């Protein structure tokens, strides 16, 4: 444990009745007590992780010494699958990457294909795409608002999250036919138009969601116990988070004012809309919850704004019957509810992509865990995991 170093300063001796201590015994007094480390395996089946994430945590008492996420339990081989599918088939598959906000996964892929083909979807299609993207953002983050409180022990908010989310899912189902997997985007526009009465229904549902957000503000954000559990827990410094590739609300909660809808390459109709990008200076778990609450409200206001300005017209551009995308490469990234998602599509002129690289948000969000979990208490591990908000399908693809 301790070796006698000839260059070390002379070890002070202690006055002990009966004579001075020998140097070796003296040296051993300066050695720190070495407590044994315990290795704890969180997962892959665990209520705290949203799916099959395994976290190998080394504990010293109640503190975490090191943590290592082990991912891949849900790997479905998406990028390989896309090599052998046509574009409509791939659109169906990529729905299932981030299953809570499926529509938002299709948008960048279809955007990349349209960029390669040089086609622009008509304005009405762009508007409806944006509306559905924001609806899926609400559906995704609203569930987070309820479910993070569940991780911390409050049973009730989770049910409110599910209950109000049903309304949004019913809206998506009325348009697309599928609650979770809309499969609605096509190269050149959308599959179908809105059904009769949908705009009025959506306005009502948005008001309900805004009320629900106020409820969450009282029930969760204002709750002192919640604040005591989440404030100053899991602080991500802004530049460090950016260097790890953390994106979305996680980064905005650390004070970094970056939103692809406003700052990235313009896509969909966001350049024409007015919306606020919410940031919070603290960067702790509370900030991440707070930012997502405000984002939900902002998404509701965006939907209401877009419903006012919805243009009329066709929803599908003129495309050939058999779609063969010309050769080329395209990279499209969008601000998904979980963070920044991007598709890099290489096409060799066939009916399907040659190679698709999927940059998913949660994969990079999870990469910061080894750094973030150092030195936190064991119950705070759950808080941090809950506040980072990843979906396993998004990590593993």
Partner 1 sequence: MSAVHLAVDAGWGWTLAVKVVVVMALIPLGALILGYTFLLKMMSHMQSRLGPMEAGPHGVLQLVMDGLKFIQKEDITPVEADKRVFAIAPMIVVISTFLIFVVIPAGPKVAVQNLDVGVFYALAVSSLSVIGVLMAGWASANKFALLGALRAAGQLIAYELPLLLAVVGVVIQAGTMNLQGIVAAQANGEIFGWGGIGNPFVITQFVGFLLFMVAAQAELSQTPFDMPVAESELVAGYMVEYTGFRFLFFFIGEFGTAFAYAALAATLFLGGWAIPNVDLANGWMNVVGPLVLFAKLMFVAFLIFWARFTYPRLREDQLQAVAWKFLIPIALANIVLTGILKVAL
Partner 2 sequence: MPKKPKLPGLIGGLGITFKAMVTPAVTVQYPHEREDPPTRARGVIALKEENCTVCMLCARSCPDWCIYIEGHKEKRPPRREGGRERTVSILDRFDIDYALCMYCGICVEVCPFDALHWSPEYEYSEFRIANLLHDKDKLGEWELTVPEAEPLELGAEVKKAKK
Q: Which residues between 130 and 159 bind partner 2 (CB under 8 A)?
A: 156
Residue 235 is a binding residue for partner 2 (CB under 8 A): no
List 335's β-bridge partners, or say none. Answer: 340
CB atoms within 10 A of CB 92: 13
Residue 160 is a binding residue for partner 1 (CB under 8 A): yes
With respect to partner 1, which residue has the nearer C-beta, 158 or 346?
158
Residue 397 is a binding residue for partner 2 (CB under 8 A): no
**CA atoms of 48 and 53, how far apart (whole Å):** 9
Question: Binding partner of residue 88 among partner 2, partner 1, none, CB under 5 to 8 Å per kind?
Answer: partner 2
Residue 170 is a binding residue for partner 2 (CB under 8 A): yes
**CA atoms of 71 and 192, how far apart (whole Å):** 38
**CA atoms of 157 and 340, how far apart (whole Å):** 27
Query: What's the min distance (Å) between Cβ of 38 and partner 1?
Result: 8
Q: Which residues between 236 and 265 bind partner 1 (CB under 8 A)?
A: none
Residue 93 is a binding residue for partner 2 (CB under 8 A): yes
From 11-19, 24-32, 296-304, 372-380, give the range in contact with partner 1 by CB under 8 A: 372-380
Site string for partner 2, 26-65 (x = CB under 8 A): ----------------------------------------
From 17-25, 49-57, 220-228, 384-392, give the range in contact with partner 2 by CB under 8 A: 220-228
**Buried b / exposed e across 40-56, counting CB within 10 Å, b at 16+?**
eebbbebeebbbbbbbe
Contact status, residue 287 vs residue 388, Cβ threshold 8 Å: no
Q: What angle do CA 51, 295, 217 make, to 5 degrees?
A: 85
Contact status, residue 103 vs residue 91, Cβ threshold 8 Å: no
Please state, in angstroms and as integers, the Cα–Cα distance from residue 383 to each residue in 64, 73, 128, 174, 213, following that order. 14, 22, 36, 36, 21
When binding is defined by CB under 8 A, the residue of 255, 314, 328, 370 that contacts partner 2 is: 314
State whether the Cα torsion 388-391-394-397 is positive or negative.
positive
From 12-20, 101-109, 165-173, 381-389, give the range in contact with partner 2 by CB under 8 A: 165-173
**CA atoms of 280 and 189, how far apart (whole Å):** 36
Binding interface with partner 2 (CB under 8 A): 85-86, 88-89, 92-93, 124, 156, 160, 163, 166, 170, 173-178, 181, 183, 191-199, 215, 218-220, 222-225, 227-228, 310-315
Binding interface with partner 1 (CB under 8 A): 38, 40, 42, 47-48, 149-156, 159-160, 163, 219-220, 223, 225-226, 228-229, 377-380, 382
């Amino acid at each position: 444990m301790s070796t006698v170093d000839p260059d070390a300063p002379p070890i002070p001796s202690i006055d002990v009745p009966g004579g001075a201590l020998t140097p070796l015994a003296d040296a051993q007094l300066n050695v720190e007590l070495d407590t044994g480390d315990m290795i704890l395996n969180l997962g892959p089946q665990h209520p705290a992780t949203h799916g099959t994430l395994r976290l190998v945590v080394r504990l010293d008492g109640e503190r975490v010494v090191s943590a290592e996420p082990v991912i891949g339990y849900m790997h479905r081989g998406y990028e390989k699958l896309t090599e052998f599918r046509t574009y409509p088939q791939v659109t169906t598959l990529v729905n299932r990457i981030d299953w809570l906000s499926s529509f938002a996964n299709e948008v960048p892929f279809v955007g990349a294909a349209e960029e390669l083909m040089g086609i622009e979807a008509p304005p009405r299609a762009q508007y409806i795409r944006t509306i559905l993207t924001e609806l899926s953002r609400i559906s995704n983050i609203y569930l987070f608002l309820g479910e993070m409180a569940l991780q911390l022990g409050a049973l009730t908010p989770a049910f409110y999250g599910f209950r109000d989310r049903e309304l949004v899912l019913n809206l998506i189902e009325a348009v697309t036919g599928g609650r979770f997997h809309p499969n609605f985007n096509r190269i050149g526009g959308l599959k179908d138009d809105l059904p009769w009465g949908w705009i009025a229904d959506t306005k009502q549902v948005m008001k309900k969601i805004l009320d629900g957000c106020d409820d969450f503000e009282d029930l969760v954000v204002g709750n002192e116990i919640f604040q005591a559990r989440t404030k100053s827990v899991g602080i991500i410094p802004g530049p460090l988070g950016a260097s790890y590739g953390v994106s979305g609300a996680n980064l905005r909660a650390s004070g970094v004012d970056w939103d692809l809808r406003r700052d990235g390459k313009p896509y969909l109709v966001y350049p024409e809309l007015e919306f606020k990008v919410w940031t919070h200076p603290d960067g702790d778990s509370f900030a991440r919850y707070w930012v997502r609450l405000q984002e939900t409200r902002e998404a509701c206001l965006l939907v209401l704004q877009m419903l006012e300005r919805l243009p009329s017209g066709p929803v599908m551009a003129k495309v050939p019957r058999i779609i063969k995308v010309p050769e080329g490469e395209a990279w499209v990234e969008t601000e998904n509810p979980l963070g920044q998602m991007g598709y890099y599509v290489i096409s060799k002129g066939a009916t399907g992509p040659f190679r698709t690289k999927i940059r998913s948000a949660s994969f990079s969000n999870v990469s910061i865990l080894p750094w973030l979990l150092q030195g936190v208490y064991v119950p705070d591990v759950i808080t941090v995991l809950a506040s980072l908000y990843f979906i396993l399908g998004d990590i593993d693809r």
